[in-house]
Each structure stands twice: as structure tokens, then as C-alpha cells.
Amino acid sequence: MSLALFDFDGTITTHETMPDFLRRSISRRRLLVGWFLLAPLVLGYKLRVVSGTLVRRAVVRFGYSGVPASAVAALGRDFAQSYLPNVLRPEAMQRIAWHRAQGHKVVVVSGGLDVYLVPWCDAQGLELLCSSLQRRNGVLTGHYEGQQCVLGEKARRVRERYDLRAFPEVYAYGDTPEDRDLLGIATKKYYQWQEVGAAGGR
């Protein structure tokens, strides 16, 4: 059995979907206020002087602090069922189907949020490593549970859950430089759907 690791946003989907979910799940009032308060961070991100990790952390803190977890979970399920099917790349779904037909273990490894990725992956029969919103007594704290599943954290989580030496081949698919560490642990790497590089280390 081989292992196939897929980034989600921009790899399985046609574009980054987390901003779409944020707009759908954060109240209009918070969105309006946040637009002004977080505009400098967003501008810095576009100018490549502020990391996406910092921007996401700020947006999650401002958007979800004190919000009932059940409400966001319900919005996540709806997003997975009604929105995500419209933005999936046919070539990605075909490749996932091919891996499954070969008997490979297929894992989505994403910085996206658990509230919509868990129901989507469950419906597809896929395993998942992703970023999770922290919950306390049924309320979101505005923080991540642990680290965001981005950059080197993607590779770290894969190694933590799976013994890579047990797989004859490790495939990895990504679409941005943030996926470099994930691709680095694979023996077959695909960047923007083109195979690149030689066998990686494990």
C-alpha cells in the first residue's frame, strides 16, 4: 500500500476556499469591523511582508472569539455539502479515485479548518490532517487547537501519524511554496499537477 498526501486549497479545489468560508461564517458586523482593523495585515500579506500564518491567526481570533461552536460547525457542514462540490478540480478527484482504486491510503493535509474539512473528507472516505478551531465549553476561543497545519507542520503531522518507511511509495500534491515541506517527504511529488524533482527523504 502506498500513501498519497493532498493539499486541499488550490490543489483539490480551483482556488483558496478558506476565505470563502470565513465570509460565510463570520457575522457581518465582525466582517465590517475586521476589514478596517485587519486591513494593514492583509495588505502586508499581499506585499509578502506578513506571513499567511499570522493573518489567519488574526482573522480566526477576531472572527470566532466567543462564538458558539455548534453554530460554526453547522455552517461548516453546509459549506462542505453545498459549496465545496462546485469548486473541486476534476483532475484532482480523478487522481484521488485512481489512488483509491490502487488500494492506496489517501490523506488530505491542509491548513483549512476542521469544521468543513472533516465533513467533506468523511463523505469522501478520506483521512485528514488539518487546522482545528479551539473549543472550550461549547464556545470557540478564537485560537487554533495546537499549531496551524501549514508549512513544516504539515510534514511533521504526517510523520507523527504515519510510519513513512512502511509505504513503498509516498505521493504528495501541492500548489504553493507553502507545500514545499510536504512535497519534501514524498518519493513522487506533484506541484501544480506536474511531477517534479527526484525521490525525497523520509
The enclosing H or E element of 86 equals none
In this predicted structure, what is the pLDDT of residue 202?
A: 52
**Contact call for residues 15 and 9 (beta carbons, < 8 A):** yes
- How far is it, in rounded angstroms, from Cα 112 to Cα 18? 6
What residues in the chain have per-residue pLDDT under 70? 36, 198-202
In this predicted structure, what is the pLDDT of residue 78?
A: 98
Structural domain spans, the chain = 3-196
**Residue holding cell 466582517?**
31
* Dihedrals phi, psi of 129, to nearest 5 degrees: -125, 125
Topology of domain 3-196, CATH: Rossmann fold (3.40.50)
Reported as a single tens digit per residue, the pLDDT across 117-175 is 999 999 999 999 999 999 999 999 999 999 999 999 999 999 999 999 999 999 999 99
**Residue holding cell 483549512?**
112
